[in-house]
Structure 1
Amino acid sequence: MSRRNTWQDIREKVRRRIHRRDWAPGEMIPNEIALAGEFGCSRATMNRALRSLASDGLIDRRRKGGTRVALHPVRRAVFEIPVLRHEIEETGAVYGYRLVLREMAAPLGHAAPGIGAGAECLHLVAVHSGDGQPHAVEDRWIDPALPGLADAPFEGVSANEWLLEHVPYTSGELTISAEPADAGTADLLGLPQGTPLLCLNRVTLDGARIVTSVRLSYRPGHRLTTSL
Structure 2
Amino acid sequence: MIEGSVTWQSLRAEALRRINAREWPPGSQIPNEADLAAEFGCARATVNRALRDLAESGYLERRRKGGTRVALTPVRKATFEIPIIRQDVEGRGQDYGYRLLSDRLVPPPPPVCAALKLTGAKPLRALEALHLADGQPFCLEKRWINPAFAGPEVQFDTLSANEWLVRNLAFSGGGFSFYATLADAELAGLLACERGAALLAIDRTTFSDAQPITAVTLTYAPGYRMVTEI
How does the TM-score come out when normalised to structure 1? Answer: 0.91
What secondary structure is seen at the aligned counterpart in 1 of 2:14? helix
How far, CA to CA, are the matches of 1:8 and 1:80 in structure 2?
21
- Structure 1 runs of 4+ aligned residues shifted over 6 Å read none
My pick for the range that moved more, 110-119 or 100-109, is 110-119
How far, CA to CA, are the matches of 1:97 and 1:115 in structure 2?
30
My pick for the range that moved more, 125-134 or 6-15, is 6-15
How far, CA to CA, are the matches of 2:98 and 2:119 in structure 1?
26
Report the equivalent of 1:83: 84
Q: Percent identity?
A: 45
What secondary structure is seen at the aligned counterpart in 2 of 1:149? coil
Which stretches in structure 2 are left out of the alignment for 5+ residues? none
Q: Is the 8 A contact 1:110 1:201 kept in 2?
A: no
My pick for the range that moved more, 170-179 or 39-48, is 39-48
My pick for the range that moved more, 86-95 or 126-135, is 86-95
Letter in 1 for 2:213: V
Q: Cα distance, 1:225 vs. partner?
A: 2.1
Q: Is the 8 A contact 1:116 1:144 kept in 2?
A: no
What secondary structure is seen at the aligned counterpart in 1 of 2:152? helix
Q: Does 1:137 align with 2:148?
A: no
Report the equivalent of 1:159: 161
Q: Is the 8 A contact 2:183 2:195 kept in 1?
A: yes
Q: Is the 8 A contact 2:127 2:143 kept in 1?
A: yes
The alignment covers a number of residue pairs equal to: 226
What secondary structure is seen at the aligned counterpart in 2 of 1:111? helix
Letter in 2 for 1:55: E
Letter in 2 for 1:51: R
How far, CA to CA, are the matches of 2:8 and 2:169 in structure 1?
32
How does the TM-score come out when normalised to structure 2? Answer: 0.90
Report the equivalent of 1:18: 19
How far, CA to CA, are the matches of 2:36 and 2:99 in structure 1?
58
Report the equivalent of 2:194: 192
Q: Cα distance, 1:120 vs. partner?
A: 2.0
Q: Is the 8 A contact 1:27 1:69 kept in 2?
A: yes
